[in-house]
Amino acid sequence: MVKIIFESWDVGMRKIPFMKLLNEKAGVSLQEAKNLKDRLVDNNEIIEVEIDDEILAKEILEEAQKLKVNGRLESQ
């Protein structure tokens, strides 16, 4: 199990593609993806998403970084 920890975002963050990424790759519902995005953007909260596959987690993190979301991986 790997945690993707999204810590912050940069100006120009692509919010809708980020929500779609969480939905399609991380397997969270669209409503949960929106809630996670809102917590990150509006409340400046650190959010965590758990992924079973380390390769997939790295791929999600790389795509998120292209969308101007900052994060890191944490192995459990």
- Residue 37's domain is classified under what CATH number? 3.30.1390
Token code pair at residue 69: 């979301």
Domain count, the chain: 1
Range of the domain at 54: 2-75
CB 63 within 8 A of CB 13: no
Q: How far apart are CA 43 and CA 39, in angstroms?
A: 5
Q: How far apart are CA 41 and CA 65, in angstroms?
A: 15
Q: pLDDT 10s per residue in the chain (76 long)?
A: 999 999 999 999 999 999 999 999 999 999 999 999 999 999 999 999 999 999 999 999 999 999 999 999 998 7
pTM: 0.93
